[in-house]
């Protein structure tokens, strides 16, 4: 069995980034069935059967809500929390019934397109209300000078402009709010963009900082296609042994990469320390969102304490850890449930499908 993972993060940082956990929202047990089943949650077919097994006809009710209603969900999560992964799994269930809006992508798209294609943004000014003149707000948004902050009001105008293009559809907004003042703006977003009759809510993705640290330190990236995997937590199908450096190497799964070796991303060896201020801000925003009244929230939890795990989750929902040995000229891959310690408490990490199950259960409680 592998050792329990414990990050080398400073204790004071762990205190600032304390993992929020509510056991009442995590139970993924299927209480209405008597038979015991197991699923491989890395496979699409198994995931579909898993959701049906755990939820029964509640799954149909969930999909029906996506057919009949529209709403806005604001994703709040620290960097590397897996927002893209969760939305991809959600899309497996409900298909193209929702649109993801990345605020970061909107800003970058504006910076690229606006100088040569101003007509595409000719209506943007009518969505803008702020203390800076519109022209100055545009200049700040286009500037590469990091000291020139993009006004929140201008970011809001970009979002409204995008939502007008999308039309009346379910939307998950990624990257807004990003600051404390933007949390307040998000409360009124549906009114400002003519979603007056639709609910809006926060989706908080809770991930221990130790998990994020491991995701960064063991991340491997393909130099050709940019695909990202994890040596310890999500390896590729093919792994080879580097005899010179006495370590395993992941081989990219993309056939077009033709056996390209995946490599660490520069800076990942530092883990969360390189972006600690960003993580502190993200965690504080999530804490602030929990204190607000008048807006619903759904919480996804990546990890459960080991001492109560058996009461809340099934073994196959726990993230496996992959370790490697090289014996007699052969590489051997070993898997065990991944265990880690944060703030002197031992946890299991959960696979993303278990997080989606949490989302569905809470979503039904909020909107039914």
Mean pLDDT (whole number) for 237-249? 94
pLDDT level of residue 336 (50, 70, 90 thresholds):
very high
The confidence score (pLDDT) of residue 108 equals 92
Distance CA 5, CA 26 (A): 23
Nearest of 179, 230, 80 to residue 239 by alpha carbon: 230
Nearest of 172, 140, 177, 171 to residue 156 by alpha carbon: 177
Nearest of 3, 76, 78 to residue 272 by alpha carbon: 78
**Can the peptide bond before residue 129 be classed as cis, meaning omega within 30 degrees of 0?**
no
Higher-confidence position of 32 and 88: 88
Q: How far is CA 5 from CA 57, 320, 349, in A?
A: 39, 12, 11
Distance CA 76, CA 281 (A): 11
Residue carrying the six token digits 């063991």: 218
Bridge pairing between strands 170-174 and 72-76: parallel
Q: Tell me: pLDDT of 193 over 90.
A: no
**C-alpha torsion angle, residues 133, 139, 143, 145 (rounded to 10):** -40
The confidence score (pLDDT) of residue 179 equals 77
Nearest of 25, 24, 29, 43 to residue 315 by alpha carbon: 29
Q: Tell me: pLDDT of 60 over 60.
A: yes
State CA 48 to chain mean position distance: 20
Q: Tell me: pLDDT of 356 over 60.
A: yes
Mean pLDDT (whole number) for 79-99? 94
The confidence score (pLDDT) of residue 175 equals 85
Q: What is the pTM of this model?
A: 0.91
| Mean pLDDT of the residues in the chain | 90
User: What distance, in Å, lies between the first and last C-alpha atoms of the chain?
Assistant: 44
Tens-place pLDDT, residues 149-180: 788 889 889 988 998 888 888 999 998 777 77
* 3-class SS of residue 191: helix
* Cβ atoms of residues 103 and 158 within 8 Å: yes
């Amino acid at each position: 069995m592998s050792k329990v993972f414990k990050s080398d993060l400073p204790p004071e940082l762990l205190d600032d980034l304390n993992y929020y956990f509510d056991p009442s929202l995590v139970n993924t047990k299927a209480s209405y069935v008597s038979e015991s089943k197991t699923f491989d949650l890395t496979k699409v077919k198994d995931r579909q059967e898993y959701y049906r097994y755990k939820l029964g006809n509640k799954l149909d009710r969930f999909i029906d809500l996506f057919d009949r209603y529209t709403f806005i969900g604001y994703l709040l999560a620290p960097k590397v929390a897996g927002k893209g992964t969760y939305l991809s799994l959600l899309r497996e269930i409900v298909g193209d019934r929702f649109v993801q809006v990345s605020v970061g992508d909107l800003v970058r798209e504006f910076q690229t397109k606006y100088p040569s294609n101003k007509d595409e943004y000719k209506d943007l000014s009518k969505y803008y209300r702020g203390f800076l003149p519109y022209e100055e707000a545009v200049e700040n948004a286009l500037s590469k000078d990091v000291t020139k902050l993009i006004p929140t009001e201008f970011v809001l105008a970009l979002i409204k402009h995008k939502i007008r293009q999308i039309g009346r559809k379910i939307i998950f907004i990624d990257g807004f709010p990003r600051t404390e003042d933007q949390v307040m703006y998000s409360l009124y977003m549906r009114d400002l963009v003519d979603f007056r009759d639709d609910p809006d809510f926060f989706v908080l993705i809770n991930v221990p900082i130790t998990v994020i640290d491991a995701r960064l330190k063991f991340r491997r990236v393909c130099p050709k296609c940019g695909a990202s995997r994890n040596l310890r937590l999500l390896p590729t199908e093919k792994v080879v042994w580097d005899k010179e450096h006495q370590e395993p190497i992941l081989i990219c799964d993309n056939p077009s990469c033709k056996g390209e070796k995946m490599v660490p991303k520069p800076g990942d060896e530092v883990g969360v320390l390189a972006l600690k201020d960003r993580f502190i801000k993200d965690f504080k925003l999530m804490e602030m969102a929990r204190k607000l009244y008048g807006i619903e929230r759904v919480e996804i939890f990546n990890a459960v304490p080991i001492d109560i795990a058996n009461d809340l989750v099934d073994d196959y929902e726990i993230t496996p850890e992959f370790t490697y040995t090289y014996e007699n000229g052969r590489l051997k891959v070993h898997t065990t449930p991944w265990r880690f310690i944060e703030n002197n408490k031992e946890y299991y990490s959960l696979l993303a499908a278990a997080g989606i199950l949490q989302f569905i259960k809470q979503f039904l409680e909020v909107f039914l």
